[in-house]
Structure 1
Amino acid sequence: MSRIPCLDDEAMPESLRSLSQGRVINVYRILGHAPRSVGQIARLGAALFAEGSLTPADRELLILTYGTVFEAEYEWEQHIPISRAVGITDAQRDALRGKRYDADVFTPAQRALLAFAAASAAAPLVDEALFKAVSAHYTEEQLVETLVLAGFYFLLGRVCTVLDVEIDAPEGDELVRMAQTMHSD
């Protein structure tokens, strides 16, 4: 049970209810206790899902990487079915769980991206060689988006770990559909 109770549908801020148009996951039910910011947080999450410049597969690899680096089990579990829906394999998830970002199950571009993501999530600076390696495969927009994802999932991850948010992983790609719906408003 979460340290702070999840808000029920009636207690959620109107901004969140109007954005979700359906099931609201527990992290947003907790974030609803901050009604002045939850709507903006939800919009950012939806934009990162539906409008990002990274491929859905790269985005999910990054989110799973951040789940491991930030020790955010909620985010890891939430994104297993989503990552599966966009083609991430069990072998890739196993490599990420073991923090083996250079595993052969990833493309050379993905290995550079995951090393960059893990390094930038773990420390405030990344070395020049790592930056050059990832820059050879990804645009400036994608690199900035990678760092925005890190910040977003740090925010969600810390809310979930500190407040012990109960995992509510949906079946299939429900979250992908929900994020796309939220962003279209």
Structure 2
Amino acid sequence: MNADTAASTPPTPPSARSPRHFPEAGLSERLGPPARLDAAQQAAADALINGPRRGVYGPFRPLLHTPALLQAAAKVGETLRYEGTLDAAVREWTICVVARALSNVFEWDMHLPLARAAGVPVEALEALDAGNPSPAVLAPELALARALAEQLLAHHRVDDATYAQALARWGEAALVELLTLVGYFAMVCWLMNVAHTPGPAPASA
């Protein structure tokens, strides 16, 4: 491979290197955006393109069929990601926990690099990807966020001990934010899993 070929080859997405399968990875999208947009759909698309997301991708591809729902979901997501009070490492790590638990290729490939950039240890992300317990190097706050998210996803509730620890760690307002973060990303992961939404387009090297 010459230098020109190497420079034009996009990087391998994290999901392609995962030890566990992402069932929808590589499948043809079956619920993409409408082929032709009506006025409301076009306005919703324009709002995404001109907003912090700068495009129509991920869950907003299927959501574009229902512009009012897209706008409501987009606002919740923007509030959580761009106006939230949680530390970036807690937020991005929790999103990765949800994405890996629900085997969603888009959110995993999108947020794994963001979690690394926010300071989540690579060893912890690798353990999460493999379905293994978190290593001792993981900060207690992140270990607690994983326990809370996994309990909520598996049992649809959180036990008293975990709740007490989370309340002591984050307080009521931030705990509500964290629980909503789990719920929001579970919702969009489910939607994309059914829609076979592709992962994020890789940037050229």
TM-score (norm 2): 0.75
For 2:68 and 2:119, locate their aligned partners in 1 and report how far apart those are by CA, in whole Å: 36
Change (3 A) 1:68 1:131: same
Superposed CA RMSD in Å reads: 2.3
Aligned residue for 1:138, secondary structure, equals: helix
For 1:105 and 1:97, locate their aligned partners in 2 and report how far apart those are by CA, in whole Å: 16
**1:161 equivalent in structure 2:** 193
**1:86 equivalent in structure 2:** 118
Deviations 1:12-56 (CA, angstroms, capped at 9, x unpaired): 431231243132223212210111210111111111011111111
Q: Compare CA radii of gyration and give the structure with the larger one.
A: 2
For 1:144 and 1:100, locate their aligned partners in 2 and report how far apart those are by CA, in whole Å: 27
Q: CA deviation at 1:9?
A: 9.0
For 1:49 and 1:98, locate their aligned partners in 2 and report how far apart those are by CA, in whole Å: 26
Q: Which moved more, 1:82-91 or 1:6-15?
A: 6-15
Instruction: Check the 8 A contact 2:48/2:56 in 1, yes or no.
Output: no
What pairs up with 1:23-172 in 2 under 5 angstroms?
A: 23-169=55-201, 171=203
Structure 2 segments unaligned to the other structure (5+ residues): 1-27
For 1:67 and 1:87, locate their aligned partners in 2 and report how far apart those are by CA, in whole Å: 18
TM-score (norm 1): 0.82
Structure 1 runs of 4+ with >6 Å offset = none
Structure 1 segments unaligned to the other structure (5+ residues): 172-185
Q: Which moved more, 1:17-26 or 1:43-52?
A: 17-26
Task: State the identity %.
Answer: 26
